[in-house]
Amino acid sequence: MELLIVNNTSPFVIDIVNMIKDLNISFQCKLYSEIKSEELSLYGAIILSGRRNYNRETNLKNNKIIKYCNNLDIPLLGICYGAEIINLFFGGSLIKMKNTIHGLVKVTSNTNNIFLPPDSSIYVYQSHRYAISRLSSDLELLCSSSQSKNEVFKHKNRNIFGVQFHPEKSGIDGKSILYNFLRLAN
């Protein structure tokens, strides 16, 4: 299995790459604009990174990737913007927050899931100004925080996940999240 990391111009993409290297997973990291639809079949799992600024082209490319993963049940993990675009793809909505969030936030599991046992918590790094306000009915809520009700979700019938935070900046807990996601692709 080879992993594709989609670089949506996140300043933290190098941190994703370094964590994946530490996990000894075969991967490629490509800028969103360099990915061709026909090459998606080469990958057993895909991670959508965050991004810095709004860009219509990024949205279009990521929507094609989400559609591909949904149609073929390819494991997909959206990080920050990646989670937001997954939620929007399935009909959910976002809200602009009054203040940008930067720093550690406590995230608590609402249910048993591949990332955390029920009622357990971790501290994760957040850096965003939008939050998922309404989760799509195709998605189920896994974890929440005081900053955002919809911190972690999963598609009800597919191995498609979103995390509103940055596991790549969240130490050992973040590495565990990436590892548990990548186990789905093996």
The Cα–Cα gap between 68 and 74 comes to 8
The H or E element that residue 22 is part of is helix 13-22
Q: How far is it, in rounded angstroms, from Cα 126 to Cα 71? A: 30
State how far the Cα of 71 lies from the Cα of 69, in Å rounded to an integer: 6
Tens of pLDDT, residues 123-169: 999 887 888 899 999 999 999 988 788 999 999 999 999 999 999 99
Taken in order of first residue, the domains within the chain and their CATH numbers are: 3-183 (3.40.50.880)
User: How crowded is the C-beta side of 144, counted as CA atoms within 13 Å?
Assistant: 10
pLDDT at 111 over 70: yes
Q: What is the pLDDT of residues 61-105, one digit of tens each?
A: 999 999 999 999 999 999 999 999 999 999 999 888 787 777 899
Rounded Cα gap, residues 129 and 90, in angstroms: 21
**173 alpha-carbon distance from chain centroid:** 15
Q: How many other CB atoms are found less than 10 A from the CB of residue 102?
A: 11
